[in-house]
């Protein structure tokens, strides 16, 4: 939701001169630099060919490779994330990817004497949550609403709603609910200043 146009249209309104009015505008001015930086991150990636919805929040993303291979859906949040674009990477809507995550769409075959490159598209479906410091390896699909725990290394696809942890990532016996109704971008302080006040 870093789009300033979106935030302006959906801003919380308060009577001019009220305490709530001054508090909201104080928060908005204080957080403006953060919004501007996320807008710049999204703009630089889209200028290079990435397809990113205007409501996606793009933090300090280091995207290496062909930016045209990157797609990010609406209301998704990416923090300080490293993405290696050797193959298509598709991130759905309302996805949360925390700081320190690495998304790698290529690696080397350790069993091949020529150490050949292995590529694989990565799909992260709607409402998935990738925890801090996790690593997503080539060819993986993270199912709708799945959770990847902090520091997990995911080398195999994750079923919808599953919760995986560890290295290598293994599913826990519990799973998430089947229906979701939240927007991870609404939890960011800079956005709340506009939407809530």
Q: Of 106, 77, 120, 73, whose CA–CA distance to 92 is shortest?
A: 73
Catalytic-residue membership of 108: yes
Bridge partners of 147, per DSSP, are 129, 163
CB hemisphere CA count around 49 (13 angstroms)? 10
Which member of 10, 53, 86, 108 is catalytic? Answer: 108
User: What is the C-alpha to C-alpha distance for residues 90 and 73, in angstroms, rounded to an integer?
Assistant: 8
Helical ranges in the chain per DSSP H: 4-9, 19-30, 32-47, 189-195
Distance CA 81, CA 99 (A): 6
Work out the number of other CB atoms within 10 angstroms of the CB of residue 144: 20
Closest-CA residue to 171 (of 133, 132, 139, 143): 143
| Distances from the Cα of 54 to the Cα of 45, 58, 104, 134, 171, angstroms | 12, 10, 24, 26, 33
Q: Are 45 and 54 in contact (CB under 8 A)?
A: no
Positions marked catalytic = 108
């Amino acid at each position: 939701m870093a789009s300033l146009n979106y935030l302006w249209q959906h801003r919380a309104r308060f009577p001019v001169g009220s305490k709530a009015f001054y508090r909201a505008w104080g928060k908005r001015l204080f957080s403006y630099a953060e919004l501007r930086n996320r807008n710049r991150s999204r703009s630089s990636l889209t200028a290079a060919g990435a397809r990113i919805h205007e409501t996606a929040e793009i933090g300090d993303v280091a995207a290496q490779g062909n930016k045209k291979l990157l797609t990010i859906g609406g209301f998704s949040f990416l923090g300080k994330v490293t993405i290696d674009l050797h193959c298509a990477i598709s991130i759905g809507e309302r996805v949360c990817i925390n700081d320190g995550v690495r998304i790698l769409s290529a690696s080397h075959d350790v069993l091949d004497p020529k150490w050949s490159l292995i590529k694989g598209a990565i799909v992260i479906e709607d409402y998935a949550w990738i925890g801090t410091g996790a690593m997503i390896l080539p060819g993986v699909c993270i199912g709708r609403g799945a959770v990847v725990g902090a520091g997990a290394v995911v080398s195999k696809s994750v079923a919808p709603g599953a919760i995986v942890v560890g290295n290598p990532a293994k599913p826990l016996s519990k799973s998430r609910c089947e229906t979701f109704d939240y927007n991870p971008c609404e939890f960011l302080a800079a956005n709340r200043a506009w939407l809530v006040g």
